[in-house]
Amino acid sequence: MKINFFVFLLFLLGVANTQIGPPSFYAFTSSSHLSMGGAGFLNPSPIALKVNPSNYIPGRQFATALIRYPADITSQSVGFSSPLEDGFYCLSIKSISYGTFKGYNDEAQLTEPYSSSVSKLTGVFSKNIKNLPASVGSSISFSSTTLHLHNYYSIESSIGGKMYFKKTASELGISIHGLGNEISSNRLIKFYPETVISFSKKLTYLPVKVFGDFLLFNSYKNKEFFLGGILKINNDFHISLGSSTRKIDQNIQQDMIKSILGATGFGFAYDVGMILVTYGIYYYGTGSHAQGLEIGISI
């Protein structure tokens, strides 16, 4: 069984170097991940796009989130997860709206307004491996992109694996995102999948859980590293913080405060019985920010 698991990991690395499949959109759809600046692929969530599909969510959970970006761009998501034998499944719907714009013809005359948006329907299944502290999982998504009168469709999948280390209270995972095909008949676009190597660890002497994610084999932009953490103040309240190497790309060298806050997320969560309310905010190097509110209900 151990040999089979490591063969599976090698298979993931091999697939990651192929150039297939659209990554669709990687916007924030979960406030918990937004508040860590993009870190937390091993932080379970039924609505997050940036998540390893092998994550196991204990119990039944319903979650919904609304995230507002600059320029009136909004992201809305809703998801449900439930145990299934020795694993779990998850269904979610995510949508990002880029707003409504004034339309003009070739003579700069006003025409009817137009809008653009992306919607995604995702199903995830994860399964624990018997006699091994590990799990594997996969997801499949159907995406619809609307650009005024034009519609484009794609199907993509993600696969991942994760191992647990009880002695060190840590986890190590690997996942590949953006495996799929454009199924619209009137265009052809070349996409590249992303491989993410992730870790998480509960600190021994502090009530903090640290998350780190390293994006590899990404052919259309530089490699990225995300680091974040969750500080547990008590059983009902915790604080999140995180940033990434995007801080360098977003640095517009205007002032020290914008340079420090660039690509940084911050947030907090409060547990009200079976309801967890999470608020997060993400700062860009330009000084603008995105903010989101998420509600999770244990059923």
Listing DSSP states for 26-39 in one string gives -----HHHHTTTT-
pLDDT tens digit string along 77-91? 999 999 987 789 999
At 285, is the secondary structure helix, strand, or coil?
coil
Class of the CATH-defined domain 2-298: mainly beta
Q: What is the pLDDT of residue 224?
A: 87
In whole angstroms, give the CA distance from residue 217 to residue 176: 10
The model's confidence at residue 220, banded by pLDDT at 50, 70 and 90, is: low
pLDDT at 1: 43
Q: Higher-confidence residue: 163 or 263?
A: 163
Task: Please state, in angstroms and rounded to a whole number, the distance separating the CA atoms of residues 119 and 74.
Answer: 12
Per-residue pLDDT at 7: 39
pLDDT over threshold 70, residue 251? no
In this structure, are strands 134-147 and 110-128 parallel, antiparallel, or unpaired? antiparallel
Among the residue ranges 31-45, 124-138, 197-211, 212-226, the one predicted with the least confidence is: 212-226
Mean pLDDT within 276-293? 90
For residue 9, the one-letter residue type is L
CA distance 299 to 294: 16
In the chain, where are the structural domains located?
2-298
Q: Summarize the confidence of residues 132-154 as an average pLDDT.
A: 86
152 contacts 111 by C-beta, under 8 angstroms:
no
Kindly report which listed range (61-75, 188-202, 222-236) carries the lowest average pLDDT score: 188-202
Between residues 58 and 37, which one has the greater pLDDT?
37
Cα–Cα distance measured from residue 49 to residue 90, given in angstroms and rounded to the nearest whole number: 12
Strands (E), the chain: 61-68, 74-84, 87-104, 110-128, 134-147, 150-165, 170-182, 194-202, 208-216, 224-232, 237-244, 264-272, 275-283, 289-298
Cα three-residue angle 156-193-180, rounded to 5 degrees: 25
Between strands 264-272 and 134-147, the pairing is unpaired
CA 229 – CA 260 distance, rounded (Å): 17
For the chain, how many residues are written?
299
Dihedral sign computed on CA atoms, order 160, 161, 166, 170: negative
In the 8-state DSSP scheme, what is residue 106? T
